[in-house]
Chains A and B, each alone.
Chain A
Amino acid sequence: MTEARVFAIDAGGTMTDAFVVLEDGRFAVGKAQTTPDDESKGVLRSFEDAITGLDGDAGAAAAGLAATIYSGTLMLNRLLQREGEGGIGVVTTAGFEDVLRFGRAFQSYAGYPYAERLHARSHGYPEPIVPRSLVRGVRERIHLIGMEMIPLYEEEAREAVGYLLDRGVRAICICFLYSYQNPSHERRMAEIAREVMSERGVDIPLYLSSEQNPVRGELPRLNSLILEVYAARPSRLQLVRMRERLKELGSPAPFRILTSYGGTVSPEHEWLVSTLVSGPIGGIIGANRLGDHLGMDNLVCADIGGTSFDVGLITEGHHAIRTEWALAQFVLNTPMIAMDSIGAGTGTYVRLDPVIRRINLGPDSAGHRVGVCYEAGGVDTPTVTDCHVVLGYVNPDYFLGGEIRLDAERARQALKEKIAQPLGIEPEEVAWGIIQLLETQMRDHLAAMILGLGYSPENYHLLTYGGGGPLHVAALSHGLQFESVLVPSWAAAFSAYGCACADCAYRYDRTVDKVLPPDGSGHQAVAGLLRSAWSEIRERLAGELRRDGLDPERMVFRPYVRMQYRGMLDDLEIPSPSAEPSVEDLDAIIAEYERLFERIFARAAKSPEAGYVVTKAIGVGIVPTEKPRIPELPLQGQDPAKGSMKGRRQIFWDGSWTTADLFEMDRLQSGNVVVGPAVVEAPATTLLVPPGWRAALDKNLIFRVEEV
């Protein structure tokens, strides 16, 4: 047994996946049910599961770890269930106290399923995290170009702090208008707050928007500060506990968390709100690495998990970063890898609309309770997994490698009672129809995303992963003409694998909002501004690395700008050739912007006549870390290896039962070809090869799935 080197964790709503990279480059995957009350339990169990699969000892394996990376939904759940830490006070520009409550119109339906978006009746705003009584306005005003219009009324500032302290707040967020252009008022406000606090002998943390998130948009800027205090800060304790438990097990490795922008940070990072969404991000990082290795520039990454279907695109080797999005109906402006999700996964509930007798999928799901087939889960509404079991795709005795026994008869009975009988058809046919419906929704979602960007599926390779990915891959790609279709044999833990591929990286965004006139007259000034912004950002990132005990000399600094045509609303992220840009470098940035704009939007929409606006200066400081190697194995014969075939099972396909060959995924060898109808089983996932399809395992242990 060799030692483990990298341990990556993907703690989803249903399952906690472990991805363990070994000394010799091989890897092992483990799975355990998520334990929301104390996530460290599920995390350790999944690690043990991975190591036991190799007949190893968890403690001994942990001793060799060089890195542990966490991604998961810990903070997100805290926010969704409103179990964060309250007592947050807000100081803002007088007259803007209600900005937080007003929010933005799209918040009222952000994240809603399509049907509910259409009905104004179901729109609603989330209850603000900070009540109006804990928001105080102070007179001051900075102009949008950064000059002082109204000085800070210092008496009001003192009064505001006193007022909040009287009400027992435990942290104060300070967010003034345009503070990203001129932070002097926020800084003076913080000084005054410290004076008042020291007079009273209290010491609570202060959060300044100009320091943590100097980005245009007072609402998302303030929201991100509040979520940091409310959801991220208390989650740090859980993260630290995980680190402690791993240390007790013998792991000497640093414990890092995946951010929404794809780098990893330590639990001590002051801006953990950047890790609020990290689960699905891992898959994109992993796909990026896989694409690099295989020489595929354009990849569609489709992740089918227990609760959702997440799609991200890698185009010309890059994933897009989104800077405005909503989470739990709160608007945020922190950077996140662009992904789109629909609430359709293997745990999605299936219901029959009693009035119009139509089958509805989700949007809610059974999560870790699987479905009716899992009696202990206590679910009585059938789920997609119940359909899989009824159709014979999923082996009820081999779910999670047999750890959980599923009862096919219970699933059949539930489908029959709730859906099949009212419709007057057989349960198998209903299950088949439900799967068709689900796959149609997923396929439409995929096609819409690709076509919406001006590309077509022919330009892309489809990479499918997540526990449910291999089950639906054939139907998902049917009719879309992807260049090729890939299913890594480690699909079930692919997001965790992606985590293990993430570099240690900190990112800092800062609004610039400077115009570049078309005649080039602004180049000099903007280049100077970018130089100073990037040098400040670099210093800040170096500080983060020093705190983590890393040598800032090893940091690779990547400068980016976001820019747009003057007068347009959407900006694009462009890498800069240098962190100390010359006028020529700016020309190069503009040329790249023009190229990208034409590709993403349309040539006809280009409008350089009015010039450009550089909206943001962005710096990413990266310290490369050890990554899992992609396996390279010699090709064996096409016939499935001896001992890989486990028998035969009846599966229901397109109206009738047919006999499918059963294979054990781990026993298949590179070069083997599985011809449908066949089911390839692994403890954590199942690859379905329908009649008329074949799946060839390539030298990288990736199934290439195609229609014959």
Chain B
Amino acid sequence: MDRRVAEDLIDGQLSWPQLKEILFHPKDPERFQVVMDILRERLGWKEPVLLPLAEHLYVVQKGSERVVRCDCGFEFGDCRENWKTKARVFVRNDESLLLEIYPQMMHSDPEWMELREFYCPGCFALLEVEAVPPGYPVLFDFEPDIDGFYEWLGLPLPSSAGD
């Protein structure tokens, strides 16, 4: 993939016909590398970035540890643990709170479902929203198998050689 196209893809600047073209075709083998190069360059961290995890969040090789880090620099700790346990949470579980973001009559029933907004303690960016029944355990989105992934890609794991 062309580097400029990849940048527009990351920034959400592609038109629907362009995006559709990409979706319809098999992923080109270099895509991950191209995207990672852009992300690494933009973040400018000295530790190697292993994987983008979610919007704003990345898995970074820090010494022997693999940690989840927000693009503001805040660290959530080991990527095998749920980063949400370190995040700030705001729960919308009554009508007045839901009406802050929904028009009248258009929101869910707070008895049945609540919205949990997870914010980064460092920059207060909204990282994720869970829509779950009240009392439901906090979701652990996934634990990435990073070694397996790189093996599958046929790429070497980025080392800390640049340190």
Contact = CB atoms under 8 A, between A and B. Distances in A.
Interface of A: 113, 116, 119, 121-122, 124, 127, 351, 353-355, 360, 363
A354 B24 CA distance: 14
B119 to A, nearest CB: 28
A363 B20 CA distance: 13
A267 B24 CA distance: 37
Interface string B100-130: 0000000000000000000000000000000
A75 B25 CA distance: 27
B142 interface: no
Nearest to B16: A124
A122 B25 CA distance: 11
Interface of B: 16, 20, 23-29
B28 A122 contact: no
In the A-B complex, list the 7 residue pairs whose CB atoms are closest, starting with the nearest.
A122-B23, A353-B26, A354-B29, A124-B16, A116-B24, A354-B26, A122-B20
B29 A127 contact: no
A354 B16 contact: no
A627 B83 CA distance: 77
A119 B25 CA distance: 13
Nearest to B28: A354
Contacts of A113: 24
Contacts of A360: 26
Nearest to B29: A354
B26 A355 contact: yes
Query: Does more than half of chain B's interface fall in helix, strand or loop, or is it mixed?
Result: loop
A656 B25 CA distance: 33
A351 B27 CA distance: 12
A218 B16 CA distance: 27
- Max chain B Cβ within 10 angstroms of own Cβ: one of A353, A354, A363: A354
A148 B142 CA distance: 60
Contacts of A363: 24
Contacts of B29: 354
Contact of B16 (A119, A127, A351, A353): A127
B20 A124 contact: yes
A436 B42 CA distance: 48
Given A116-B23, A122-B24, 15 more contacts: A113-B24, A119-B23, A121-B23, A122-B23, A124-B16, A124-B20, A351-B25, A353-B26, A354-B26, A354-B27, A354-B29, A355-B26, A355-B27, A360-B26, A363-B24
Nearest to B152: A355
A34 B83 CA distance: 59
Contacts of B25: 351
A116 B24 CA distance: 7
A360 B24 CA distance: 11
Contacts of B27: 354-355
A451 to B, nearest CB: 29
9 contacts: A116-B23, A116-B24, A122-B20, A122-B24, A127-B16, A354-B26, A354-B29, A355-B26, A360-B26
A117 B57 CA distance: 32
B73 to A, nearest CB: 32
A121 B22 CA distance: 12
A122 B28 CA distance: 17
B155 to A, nearest CB: 14
A353 B29 CA distance: 10
A533 B20 CA distance: 45
A127 B20 CA distance: 13
A354 B29 CA distance: 7
A42 B39 CA distance: 48
A10 B36 CA distance: 49
A295 to B, nearest CB: 45
A690 B46 CA distance: 64
Contacts of A116: 23-24
Contact of B26 (A121, A127, A351): A351
A257 to B, nearest CB: 28
A113 B20 CA distance: 12
Contacts of A355: 26-27
A517 B73 CA distance: 76
A119 B24 CA distance: 10
A198 to B, nearest CB: 41
